[in-house]
Chain A
């Protein structure tokens, strides 16, 4: 029972990071039907930004987090503007391959500029462990969970209740009609990238604190897993992405807990395969039938 609770806490902490990342995948997919493979690398940029501002400018946690979100939002907008916008009306596969290209560019660009070595993330917040009846939870885990949940609620409010959120939903349903009722499509898409990328930036700083190490290739595996999370939850669905993220996090820690650490990644992909076989549209996905 204790182990179970312990793993539940660990899984939720890791899962909230995946959830934050998955939100970016799902929003971008929802609006321009692009799987943004560079999304994991935005998360890496966020972690590096956090690393630098904490080490050299002595930012505290809140400012490091907010500035990383801002920087990542801007990077996301620039990437969309330079790499994806020119391909807006090209076949989807062209944009997809471009996204892979952008991902390699960011990974190798960062390796070239700052070296590919792993570095330890400054621990601005001293880790304190709390014990509740044999279950251990650290202040950093609480921080991750709280921050991630706050961000997810915020995002949901933006999408459901604000003008920009309504514009995003309109563009994702029918971009042409949205434009004809006076919505600036380019601005809406930029906003979507900014939102998604800022979530990834936050995730980057949080994972830095949690795992204590960052490197230019750190975005690859979590990026793919967050993508799996988005697909499991139903790509295009915001609550689905959050749920998918938590599921993947729990699954991964669960598999590790029963002593199969080496197979934790395999387990994630196995779940992807099973979900796609049973629920091809994901848990919250709308079963879209192509109209003839």
Chain B
């Protein structure tokens, strides 16, 4: 197993507030890792740093892709995305007024070429590319039982399905790493169980690394191979679910004194 993403001494200050301080972590190929911590611990900030939305104050993020090692610090978000780092959002950020299939096709933008002349004059090559890409998108939607909704506007889907579509949109980017920001937020236990199965399936079928932020402990303990615990912007602990459940510092900070 080799390291695909390496984070060294990551720091992010907002004014005087250290949102993230000296966080170091490593993600391996095909691994499912969870990032947990109390509200305000800096989990989403870490995601934003890793996907290029915000630039770190100091520290290094390196991605070990097929084309060698690439530093991500300060890289534009779309470039980070095209390297193979996809994410979902804590509050769903689908393209609400666009159809399900368009949401998926948009995420595939960087994976095919379409000449301007070809598409304007509708040359045969345009139809070929368009047909191939659509088919690919529909295949992906089928895996997640969304094939009947392809022309529905994203905003008209139910909450759970919107979450699922957001994951599909992430997968359409053919990522190496998928970041899931609280995928189970607002779900009932049944939906959470579905989601757990879904994430397992994704990992098995797509062979990608998943980093997951989640508050739902049943989901985390069920799925994660390793867990990082963040508190007040610093790493409190790292280990397997069993180790984390028995870690005194974690229990004190996160699960509560009495636990």
Binding site for B on A (CB under 8 A): 154, 157-158, 161-164, 166-167, 169-170, 173-174, 176-185, 286
Q: Complex formed: what's the CA distance from A120 to B126 in Å?
A: 42
State how many angstroms separate the Cβ of A166 from the closest Cβ of chain B: 5
- Contact check, B119 vs A180: say whether CB atoms are below 8 A apart: no
Contacts of B109 in A (CB 8 A): 163, 166-167, 181-183
Residue from A163, A166, A169 whose CB has the most chain B CB atoms within 10 Å? A163
| B53 interface hit (Cβ, 8 Å) | yes
Contacts of B97 in A (CB 8 A): 173, 286
Contacts of B87 in A (CB 8 A): 180
- Contact check, B120 vs A181: say whether CB atoms are below 8 A apart: no
Interface string of B101-134 (1 = CB under 8 A from A): 0100111011010101001101000000010000
Binding site for A on B (CB under 8 A): 51, 53, 76-78, 81-82, 86-87, 89, 93-98, 102, 105-107, 109-110, 112, 114, 116, 119-120, 122, 130, 169-170, 172-173
Contacts of A169 in B (CB 8 A): 95, 98, 102, 106
Q: Name the contact of A181 in the complex, choosing from B107, B112, B119, B122 (C-beta under 8 A).
A: B107
Q: Name the contact of B51 in the complex, choosing from A154, A162, A180, A183 (C-beta under 8 A).
A: A180
A-B interface pairs (CB < 8 A), number: 84
Contacts of B98 in A (CB 8 A): 169-170, 173
Q: Name the contact of B106 in the complex, choosing from A158, A167, A184 (C-beta under 8 A).
A: A167
Query: Which 10 A-B residue pairs are closest in the complex by CB-CB distance?
Result: A182-B81, A177-B93, A162-B119, A181-B107, A173-B95, A170-B106, A179-B77, A163-B114, A182-B110, A182-B82
Q: Complex formed: what's the CA distance from A142 to B114 in Å?
A: 33
Contacts of A183 in B (CB 8 A): 78, 106, 109-110
Contacts of A158 in B (CB 8 A): 119-120
Contacts of B78 in A (CB 8 A): 179-180, 182-185
